[in-house]
Amino acid sequence: MRVLSPQLLSNLEAHSDKISEMYMEGRGLTDIEGYLGITWSEMQAIEEVMFNMFPIYTVKDLDGNKKVMRFNAHTLQSTEIKEDEY
């Protein structure tokens, strides 16, 4: 996880509700970046702080076996993980 500069942290605290609202409306990160008046790399840092980039979820395979998966938002790929890894 990235560490935000004091200015970016202040932006996040001041605008977190608006950022979440825009994100839920389906607006892209570019729109949010423009709203805050920050650079793309700063927007990526805020995104990594606000949203879990590696969520864990469970699925059942075709045989009905439960599997625990971890999604990587950077690569858009999921991988199976063992219970002791989370």
Q: What is the mean pLDDT of the chain?
A: 85
d(CA 36, CA 29): 11
Does residue 77 register a pLDDT over 80? yes
Owner of token pair 């998966």: 69
d(CA 14, CA 8): 10
The fraction of the chain above a pLDDT of 70, given in percent, is 95
CB 15 within 8 A of CB 62: no
Q: What is the domain partition of the chain in residue ranges? A: 6-50, 56-85
Name the CA dihedral angle for 23, 24, 25, 30, rounded to a multiple of 10 degrees: 10
Mean pLDDT of all residues in 60-85: 90
Looking at residue 80, the DSSP 8-state letter turns out to be E
